[in-house]
Amino acid sequence: MKFNNTYIKLAPIFYQHVLPTPVAKPKLLLWNDSLAKQLLIPSTLTQDSALLAQYFSGNQLPPGAESIALTYSGHQFGHFNPQLGDGRAHLIGEISDENAQQRDIQLKGSGPTPFSRQGDGRCAIGPAVREYIMSEAMFALGVPTSRCLAVVASGEPVYRGDAKPGAIVTRVAASHIRVGTFQYFASQGNLEALDELTQYAIARHYPTIKSSGAERVIAFLEQVIAKQITLITAWLRVGFIHGVMNTDNTAISGETIDFGPCAMMGVYHPGTVFSSIDRKGRYAFANQAPIAQWNMARLAEALLPLIDSDQDAAVAKVEPLIIAMSAQFQQAFNTMMAAKLGFEHTSDEVDALSTELLDLMQTHQLDYTLTFYHLGLIINSQATVALVAPLNDWVAKWQSALANASISASNAYELMQQNNPVVIPRNHHVEAVLAQYEQGAQSDIERFLSVLAHPYQHTQHTELYQDPAADGDQHYRTFCGT
Ligand SMILES: Nc1ncnc2c1ncn2[C@@H]1O[C@H](COP(=O)(O)OP(=O)(O)OP(=O)(O)O)[C@@H](O)[C@H]1O
Ligand SMILES: [Mg+2]
C-alpha cells in the first residue's frame, strides 16, 4: 500500500494529528477483496488476516500512513454546530487506485480525537457491519458511494444503553470533504483556509474547471450541485432513505456518506421516515431533493466571500444556481422515472404515467421495488404476475404509451432491467444479519452480500431476500451509531 497524504499538506487548521487508540483483541470480520484489488493492495497483505486486523483496527499504522482527524462544522437538523470534526474517525492517508484516482482510507470507531466532545470515539459492531452491507449494496446498485474495505472486531465492549461488541470499520471515499468543512472556515472568517480548501477540492474532484477567481468558485458550486442532483436521483430510483442529511454528512464529491440511520423504503410513501431522531420527517424519502437544495444553499453561503467582497453582489451570483436546482432535479427525476418504466425520454404523457403510478402505489400500499420488478416481468411476458386490480387500467395505458412511442417490449424491458433492482438490502434482512453478529453467531452475511453484489440479476439465492417485511416495516426504526 502506497500512501499519499495530500490532506496533511494543507494548513494545520484543517486537521489534528491523533493516533487511533489500540484495541484489546482485533479480529478481522469482513474484508472486501474486490475493493482491495481496485486499491492495488498486494495479495501478500490481503492473505495475512492477522496483519490486516492490526492495520484496520488502528493498532498499527501501515507503513507510510499518517493519522489525522479532520476539522468540520455542520448544520444538524437545521441547526448550525460550529465544532464537529472527526470524533471517532482517523484518516490514515490516500491511496491511488487502479484508475489513478485518489481514495481516502479512513478508520471509523478507532478511538477518541480532539473532536470527540462527549463521545467515546467508538462504534458498535452492528452499525459497522451495517455500513459495510449498505455501502456495498449501494455501490452494486450503481449509486455513487463511499465503500468499506474492512470491519475488524475490537474485542472490547462499547456501551450503547447495553454493552455491545465494538468494531472498527474502514471507509474508502473519494475524499472526506463535506459541506460542513467549508462551513467551518467560513464561520471562522478564515478566507485564506476557505480558498485553500476550495482549490484543493477543485483539484481533487473537479479538475476540468479551468477558470480562475470568482468564476472558478461559481463553476465549482455548479458542479457540486450537479453531482448532488445525480446522487439524490439515484437514491430515489432505488428507494434509499439516508436518514441524516446534515451538511456534515454531505460529501463534496457527490458520494453517499455516513450510513448511520439509513434504510430502504418498502411500501411506497413519499413521507417514509425510519430514523428515531427525525421526528418531524425532515429527511423523509421525498424530502431528500429539497434538503439537498437546502444543503447546497449552505455551501453557497459559505463560498460567498470568495465570490465577491460585496455580499449582495455575491448572493446575486449564486442565488440563480440554487433556484435552478429545483427544475434541474425535476428533469433528472422525470428521466429516471421514465427509465424505470422503459422510456428513454420523458414527455408529458410519461410524466403523467409515473405520477399516476406513484399515487396508486401510495394508495394501495404497494412495495416500491417489487412493483417495478413485476412491471418488468409483465413487459417481458415471463410470467403471469398478479398485480392488484387497480393497477390494471394503468398497465393498459402504460403499454399503449410504449406502443405509441414505438418502443418494443424487449427494448423497454432492457432499460427497465437496468434501472429496477431485483433485490435491495431490505431492512429486515439487514437486521437479521446484524443480530447474528451481535450474538456472535455464524452469520449468513457472505450469502447476503453475494446476492446484493448483483442487484439486477437473479442469482442462486436472490429469492431468499426479495420478500418485503411482513409488517411492511411499520415498526422499523433506525438509530444514529453514536
Ligand atoms: N461515538 C462517538 N464518539 C465521538 N464522536 C462521535 C461519536 N459518534 C459520532 N460522533 C461525532 O458526532 C458528529 C456527528 O455524528 P454522525 O453520526 O453524523 O457521524 P459519524 O457516523 O460518526 O461519522 P461520519 O459522518 O464520518 O460517517 C461527528 O462529528 C462525529 O464524529
Ligand atoms: Mg456523520
> Got the DSSP string for 364-393?
TT-BHHHHHHHHHHHHHTSS-----TTHHH
Span 185-205, average pLDDT? 98
Which atom, in ligand 1's list, is nearest to the CA of 123? 1
Catalytic residues: 248
The pLDDT mean for the chain works out to 96
pLDDT on residue 90: 98
The residue extents of the domains of the chain are 3-173, 207-426+467-482
Distance 250 CA to ligand 2 centre (A): 9
Distance 296 CA to ligand 2 centre (A): 17
Distance 345 CA to ligand 2 centre (A): 37
If you take atom 15 of ligand 1, which residue's CA is the nearest one? Answer: 482
Which atom, in ligand 1's list, is nearest to the CA of 176? 26
Higher pLDDT, 480 or 429: 429
Pocket test for ligand 1, best of 18, 21, 88 (most atoms within 8 A of CB): 88
Span 7-35, average pLDDT? 97
Q: How does residue 441 score in pLDDT terms, banded at 50, 70 and 90? A: confident
Pull the grid cell for residue 328.
Answer: 434541474
d(CA 225, CA 325): 7
At residue 81, what are phi and psi to the nearest 5 degrees? -115, 110
Q: How does residue 326 score in pLDDT terms, banded at 50, 70 and 90? A: very high
Q: Nearest ligand to the C-alpha of residue 127?
A: 1
pLDDT on residue 238: 99
Span 152-168, average pLDDT? 96
For residue 62, the 8-state DSSP code is: P
Residue 386 has pLDDT above 80, yes or no: no
Non-local (6+) Cβ contacts of 97 within 8 A are 38, 39, 40, 103
Pull the grid cell for residue 253.
Answer: 464529491
Entry pTM: 0.98
d(CA 343, CA 420): 13
Q: How does residue 383 score in pLDDT terms, banded at 50, 70 and 90? A: low
Residue 482 has pLDDT above 60, yes or no: no
Residue 390 has pLDDT above 90, yes or no: no
pLDDT on residue 387: 79
Residue 34 has pLDDT above 80, yes or no: yes
pLDDT on residue 442: 76
Residues touching ligand 1 (Cβ under 6 Å) are 84-89, 115-116, 119-122, 244, 249, 257-258, 260, 480-482
d(CA 318, CA 296): 10
Which pLDDT tens digit goes with each residue over 213-228? 999 999 999 999 999 9
Distance 19 CA to ligand 1 centre (A): 17
Which pLDDT tens digit goes with each residue over 100-132? 999 999 999 999 999 999 999 999 999 999 999
CA nearest to 181, candidates 66, 351, 302: 302
Non-local (6+) Cβ contacts of 303 within 8 A are 182, 186, 194, 198, 217, 220, 221, 318
Partners of residue 114 on adjacent β-strands: none
If you take atom 23 of ligand 1, which residue's CA is the nearest one? Answer: 258
The ipTM is: 0.99
Percent of the chain with pLDDT over 70: 99
d(CA 83, CA 73): 5
Span 12-41, average pLDDT? 97
d(CA 276, CA 285): 14
Residue 347 has pLDDT above 70, yes or no: yes
Which pLDDT tens digit goes with each residue over 53-99? 999 999 999 999 999 999 999 999 999 999 999 999 999 999 999 99
pLDDT on residue 443: 78
pLDDT on residue 225: 99
